[in-house]
Amino acid sequence: MEAHTGSVNLPETPVFRAKGQPGTEGLPAVVESPGRVPRHVAIIMDGNGRWAEQQGLPRLAGHREGVNAIPRVVDLLAQRGVQFLTVYAFSTENWSRPSTEVEGIIELLDETLRRETDHFNEKNVRVIHIGNAARLSNDIRLAVDRIQHETRNNTGIVLNVAFDYGGRQEILAAVRELIREGVSPDDITEEVFSRKLFTAHCPDPDLIIRTGGELRISNFLLWQSAYSEYYHTPVLWPDLDAQEVDRALADYSQRQRRFGNIVPDTGG
Nearest to residue 111, comparing CAs of 67, 66, 150? Answer: 67
Sign (positive/negative) of CA torsion 261, 222, 143, 104?
negative
Task: Tell me what the pLDDT averaged over the chain comes to.
Answer: 87
| pLDDT < 50: residue spans in the chain | 1-24, 30-34, 268
pLDDT value at residue 36: 87
Does residue 94 have an active-site annotation?
yes
Q: According to CATH, what is the number of the domain 35-166+206-215+226-253?
A: 3.40.1180.10
Cα–Cα distances (Å) from 131 to 169, 221, 237, 251, in that order, read: 9, 11, 21, 30
Residue 4: predicted pLDDT:
33
100-159: pLDDT as tens digits: 999 999 899 889 888 999 999 999 999 999 999 888 889 889 999 999 999 999 999 999
Residue 98 C-alpha from the chain's centroid:
24
| Stated pTM of the model | 0.84
The catalytically annotated residue of 68, 75, 94, 219 is: 94
| Active-site residue, selected from the candidate residues 46, 145, 164, 204 | 46
Please name which of 233, 236, 181 lies closest in space to residue 209, comparing C-alpha atoms: 233
CB 20 within 8 A of CB 194: no
At 257 the pLDDT is 72
pLDDT reported for residue 137:
87
Specify whether 121 is catalytic: no
Distance between CA atoms of residues 171 and 166, nearest Å: 9
